[in-house]
Structure 1
Amino acid sequence: MFFEPLVFDLSLLGWDDTRALPADTIPGRVSRVHRGAAEVITEQGQIQVHYGARVRRDSAADPTRLPCVGDWVALRLLAEGRYELDEVLPRATAFVRGGVSRDSRGGLSGDGQGQVLAANVDIVFVAEPAMHATDFADLGRIERLTALAWESGGTPVVVITKADLFDQGLDDLLNDVRGAAPGVDVHAVSSFTGDGVDVVRSYLMGSRTAVILGASGAGKSSLVNALAGGEVMETQQVRAGDGRGRHTTVHRELIPLPGGGIVIDTPGIRRVGLYDMSDGVDRVFSEIEDLAEQCRFGDCSHEAEPGCAVLAALESGELPERRLESWRKLQREAAWMARRSDARLQAEETRKWKIIHKGMRGRNRP
Structure 2
Amino acid sequence: MTTYPSLTAYGWNDQWNEALQQESTLIPARVSAQYSHQYRIITSEGERTASVSGKLEYEAQRRSDFPAVGDWVLAEPLQGENSAVIRKVLPRFSAMSRKEAGNVVDEQIIAANVNWLFITSALNQDFNLRKIERFLIAVWESGASPVVLLTKADLCEDPERFRDEVEAIAPGVPVHIVSAQENLGKEALAPYLMSGQTIAVTGSSGVGKSTLINWLAGQDLNRVQGIREQDARGRHTTTHRELFLIPSGAVLIDTPGMRELQLWDASEGWEVTFSDIVELKSHCRFQDCRHLGEKGCAVQEALANGTLDAHRYANYIKTEKELAHLELKALRSDRRNQKNAGKFSGAKSKKSATRSGPIPIPQYNEFDE
TM-score by length of 1: 0.86
Structure 1 range deviating more: 49-58 or 205-214: 49-58
Hey, what's the Cα distance between the residues in 2 that align with 1:56 and 1:302? 47
1:68 alignment partner AA? A
Number of the residue aligned with 1:97: 98
Deviations 1:130-157 (A, max 9, x none): 02xxx47211110000111000000000
Q: Confirm or deny: 8 A CA contact 2:35 2:240 kept in the other structure.
A: no
Structure with greater Cα Rg: 1
Segments of 5+ residues of structure 1 without an aligned counterpart are 1-6, 102-109, 357-366
Question: Measured at CA, do residues 181 and 325 of structure 1 come closer, stay the same or move farther in structure 2, by a change above 3 Å?
Answer: same
Aligned equivalent of 2:366? none
User: In the alignment, which residue of structure 2 is the partner of 1:73?
Assistant: 73
Q: Equivalent residue for 1:364?
A: none
Alignment of 1:191-206 (within 5 A): 191-206=180-195
Alignment-derived partner of residue 15 in structure 2:
18
- Residue 323 of structure 1 is matched in structure 2 by 312
Aligned-residue CA RMSD (Å): 2.1
Which residue of the other structure, out of 252, 255, 279, is the alignment partner of 1:290? 279
Does residue 160 in structure 1 map to residue 150 in structure 2? yes
**Deviation by residue 1:9-41 (Cα, 9 ceiling, x = unmatched):** 101111124332234100110011122310001
Q: Distance in 2 between matches of 1:331 and 1:258?
A: 42
Matched positions, count: 337
| TM value normalised by structure 2 | 0.86
Q: CA deviation at 1:75?
A: 0.5
CA distance in 1, matches of 2:337, 2:98: 21
Whether contact under 8 Å (1:149, 1:156) holds in the other structure is: yes
Q: 2:92 touches 2:113 (CA, 8 Å); kept in 1?
A: yes
- Give the CA deviation at 1:87: 1.1
Equivalent pair of 2:186/2:216 in contact (CA under 8 Å): yes
Q: Which residue number corresponds to residue 200 of structure 2?
A: 211
Q: Is the 8 A contact 2:338 2:344 kept in 1?
A: no
Would the aligned equivalents of 1:161 and 1:219 in 2 still touch at CA under 8 Å? Answer: yes
Query: How big is the shift at 1:79?
Result: 6.0
Residue number in structure 1 paired with 2:298: 309
Task: Kindly report structure 1 stretches of 4+ aligned residues shifted beyond 6 Å.
Answer: none
Q: Deviations over 1:211-262 (max 9, x none)?
A: 1111111100111011101111111245555666543111111011112101
Residue in 1 aligned with 2:87? 86
> Equivalents in 2 of 1:51, 1:201: separation in Å?
36
2:341 is paired with a residue whose SS is helix
Contact 2:206–2:232, Cα closer than 8 Å, also in 1: no
- The 8 Å contact of residues 112 and 338 in structure 1, kept in 2 or not, is answered as no
Which structure's relative contact order is higher, taking Cα pairs within 8 Å and 6+ residues apart? 2
Change in Cα spacing, 1:246 to 1:201, as seen in structure 2 (3 Å) is: farther
Q: Which runs of 5+ in 2 are unaligned?
A: 346-369
Change (3 A) 1:243 1:347: closer
Identity of aligned residues (%): 36
Partner of 2:339: 350
